[in-house]
Amino acid sequence: MVYVSPATTYTNNTFSVRVLMDLASDEHFNTYDIRLNYNSTPYGSTVLKVVSESATPGSDEFIRCLDGVGLGCDLSDTTGVIHSAADFPYILDGPQQSFPLFTIQFAVIGKGVKVLHPLNDSIINPLQGAHPILHMTEDGIYSNLGPTAFFNTAPAILIASQPVTFDGTGSFDPSGTGTFSNYSWSFGDGTPGKLGAIVQHDYTLPGSYDVTLNVTDSNGSGSLTKTISVVSSLGGLRVNVLQVDYKHDHAVTVSLFNGTVLVGNPVTRPAFLTGVFNFQNLEPGSYRLNFSGPGIVPASANVNVVPGWTTWYTAYLSLVQPPADNGASDVQFFLILGAVAGGIVLGSGALLRRKLRRKKRR
């Protein structure tokens, strides 16, 4: 999980929030790339101003872009967006709780409500080929008005025809005097709403939906609308092919099988930098990858496709060595294959290329 702490803030003075990470017991981490949108709805155009941003001590922050100005900014970095990306000189092994990634200090300059929303966030596992880690993301919120509605969703991927949980227990009243008597939900798909602090709802079709929570206490009412994305239950597979010998590129053919059934047509591409193979719209389950090509030691491996997610798989293939000059056969090879899970997250491609370039230099 990646989340903002504290989740709710209502001071009228300067304040700080941290972006934290919880790491599962079977995960490993050493790089992140996260944007935090602090200028999102519902209302109040000039509420917060960024004073400073700082990454965790000891990390190498290679992107620090505040409101579109700073180190490593790109076209997606605009006013109202904080962009931080950093490498760590060590690998952090899970489980870990509340590991700090970066801290932002804000100044309050107006009245209103602002959601602090991490977006396009990539958490990178460097082992078995660098790959993004599937994770949940939770927002924070600032308010210096009256009753304030606030909610987060679960699970990490919202899939059509599977329950989505909406948790509105983070709603609050900055005055501290109100107790909410009503939580009313609208799910944005034309179905009847629901009442309750925590509710579940199934979406029939993939798409984007505007979800609204209204809360009421003795001081009045508040409302929050968020746009959520619901995806298909199909998954994807991205295969990165690297060779032990970086001096020569050899064409590699990748074939994907579901049991004994060939899925689509085999794909052939040059190896290494251009050796990326994408398979989309796959039913969740176990698949087999076969690798072959001129001068390539044939290999195969099993991978698992996750609903609504793109699994990353990195294969290090060896080349068949020619006979030695004395005529003796000297064919040596090794194969390292790692099934890895990852996601299509804006920004993660640059991170992975950065790590692979470092590996090549080493």
190 and 122 together in one domain: no
pLDDT score, position 352? 54
The answer as to whether 262 is a domain residue is yes
Structure-model confidence comparison of residues 189 and 271, the more confident one: 189
The DSSP H or E segment spanning 349 is helix 348-361
pLDDT tens digit string along 94-140? 999 999 999 999 999 999 999 999 998 999 999 888 899 999 999 99
pLDDT tens digit string along 291-340? 998 888 899 999 999 999 999 998 888 888 765 554 443 333 333 334 44
pLDDT tens digit string along 26-62? 899 999 999 999 976 555 568 999 999 999 999 999 9
pLDDT at 345 over 80: no
11 and 108 together in one domain: yes
Q: What are phi and psi of 263, to 5 degrees?
A: -95, 110
272 and 330 together in one domain: yes
The answer as to whether 140 is a domain residue is no
pLDDT tens digit string along 215-224? 999 889 999 9
Using CA atoms, how far apart are residues 248 and 240, in angstroms rounded to an integer? 17
- Model pTM greater than 0.85? no
223 and 239 together in one domain: no
Show the domain range for 356.
Answer: 235-361
pLDDT score, position 336? 36
116 and 10 together in one domain: yes
Measured distance between the N- and C-terminal CA atoms of the chain, rounded to whole angstroms? 31
pLDDT score, position 42? 53
Buried b (16+ CB within 10 A) or exposed e, 285-299: eebebebbbebbbeb
161 and 266 together in one domain: no
Q: Are 148 and 221 in contact (CB under 8 A)?
A: no
The amino acid that residue 193 corresponds to is: G
The answer as to whether 218 is a domain residue is yes
312 and 357 together in one domain: yes
The answer as to whether 57 is a domain residue is yes
Encoding tokens for residue 236? 């994807």
The answer as to whether 108 is a domain residue is yes
263 and 163 together in one domain: no
Average confidence score pLDDT of the chain: 86
The answer as to whether 136 is a domain residue is no
The answer as to whether 203 is a domain residue is yes
- Burial of residue 95, with CB atoms counted within 10 A of its CB: 0-12 exposed, 13-18 middle, 19 or more buried: exposed
pLDDT tens digit string along 202-214? 999 999 999 999 9
302 and 350 together in one domain: yes
The answer as to whether 20 is a domain residue is yes
pLDDT tens digit string along 119-132? 989 999 998 888 99
Q: How many domains does the chain have?
A: 3
Q: Which of 186, 201, 233 is the last residue of a domain?
A: 233
Using CA atoms, how far apart are residues 346 and 243, in angstroms rounded to an integer? 26
Q: Which of 92, 126, 160 is the last residue of a domain?
A: 126
* pLDDT (mean) for 235-240: 93
CATH of the domain at 241: 2.60.40.10
pLDDT at 286 over 90: yes
